[in-house]
Amino acid sequence: MIQVGIVGGTGYTGVELLRLLAGHPDVSLQVITSRGEAGNPVDRIFPNLLGHVDMVFSEPSTEALSQCDVVFFATPNGTAMHHTPALLEAGCRVIDLAADFRLQDPTVWEKWYGMPHACPDILTEAVYGLPEVNRDAVRKARVVANPGCYPTAVQLGFLPLMEQGLIFFSGLVADAKSGVSGAGRKAALGTSLCEASENFNAYAVTGHRHLPEIRQGLAAISGQSVDLTFVPHLTPMIRGIHATLYARLATPESPLSDEDLHQIFQTRYQNEPFVDVLPLGSHPATNSVRGANYCRIACYRPQSEDTLVVLSVIDNLVKGAGGQAIQNMNIMFGLEEKTGLDLPGLLP
């Protein structure tokens, strides 16, 4: 049994980790910390876990966490980097679901997150945990930076086109729509039902923190810097991300058809347990992955013109957060990758 600790388990990322770990056959949940809820039973905060997680939140303690094989950080940005060195020292492995280890360049990190990085040396060691790209590195990693929700959907969508060199690396567009749970479990007027339901709007159009993460990832895939415009939108639903991606065909005279595109994606992802290329003619829907760890994708060349369109959906809390974190853990500990994650979505 893998001894698992969770730091900061009172957000939606935390409850989703708990829901999935509670059913994981090879995991023993040892400790879950929360400064604010220390002493309170987990199932009082998350009544869906009643009968499934019989634990009490505890004060964060490096000593208690050090007993674990792996520690998940489901904390705000800027927390994990302060605790990771000590945990590594103690022989723990770390999976951070926040952004602390996602950007390799500490200068870029500081610019976007507004604080100096506490352990820039570990940045170089940390592995960006997108299994479809970095599976081998994840296997040996001591520190995994679990990707952001938008970056997961966007990178998996562009990946096959970039690897095949089919598109220009400039003028890329990622128009992304997220359910409200992406904003976290918190009281805020903008995400109240009265303001956010029956409404749709873009936000952070001039610059969102996931932009440098996406660019870094796409640059790693393509071997060159990419020029991408990223616009996130708040969507009146709880879960789900839909990324609509636009790229110009590098060779417009190419006879590339929708069938060809389908085949290219199919070939790339055929052995991936959590990426499904949908049948030709399909439009992936976020509700087909609700509560499940899948990314579902389709790619088209509308009207046979020069712009390709990729449609990519995930559940932001699963493949975009807790599920992918457990997928990374499975890889790190040599388990079958689907262990504990082999669940269909909840429909309707």
Query: What residues between 75 and 134 interact with a copy of itself by CB under 8 A?
Result: none
Q: Which is nearer to a copy of itself, 100 or 315 (CB)?
A: 315
Q: Is 225 helix (H, G, I), strand (E, B) or coil?
A: coil
Give the distance, in angstroms, between the CA of residue 52 and the centroid of all CA atoms in the same chain.
Answer: 25
Place of tokens 């980790």: 17
Residue 297 beta carbon to a copy of itself: minimum distance, rounded to whole angstroms = 12
- Residues 142-171 interacting with a copy of itself (rule: CB under 8 A): 170-171
- Catalytic option among 92, 119, 149, 295: 149
Among 4, 7, 15, 166, binds a copy of itself (CB under 8 A): 15
Going by C-alpha positions, the residue among 74, 147, 149, 69 that lies closest to residue 332 is: 69
HSE (side-chain half, CA atoms, 13 Å) at 202: 11
Residue 132 beta carbon to a copy of itself: minimum distance, rounded to whole angstroms = 16
Q: Which is nearer to a copy of itself, 122 or 160 (CB)?
A: 160
Tokens matching residue 254 = 């190419």
The count of chain residues that interact with a copy of itself, using the rule CB under 8 A, is: 93
334 scored as a contact of a copy of itself (CB under 8 A): no
Residue 158 beta carbon to a copy of itself: minimum distance, rounded to whole angstroms = 15
Is 92 known to be catalytic?
Answer: no
Residue 282 Cα distances to 196, 215, 263, angstroms = 28, 28, 14
Residue 23 beta carbon to a copy of itself: minimum distance, rounded to whole angstroms = 7
Using alpha carbons only, give the angle 180, 313, 45 rounded to the nearest 5 degrees: 35
Say which DSSP state 237 is in.
S
175 scored as a contact of a copy of itself (CB under 8 A): yes
Q: Which is nearer to a copy of itself, 220 or 238 (CB)?
A: 238
Segment 115-118 long-range contacts (CB within 8 Å, at least 24 positions apart): 115/78, 117/81, 118/78, 118/81, 118/82
Residue 293 beta carbon to a copy of itself: minimum distance, rounded to whole angstroms = 11
- Residues 274-333 interacting with a copy of itself (rule: CB under 8 A): 276, 278-279, 282-292, 294, 296, 298, 300, 302-303, 305-307, 309, 311, 313
Q: Which is nearer to a copy of itself, 7 or 313 (CB)?
A: 313
Q: Which residues, 6+ apart, have CB-to-CB distance to 335 below 8 Å?
A: 26, 329
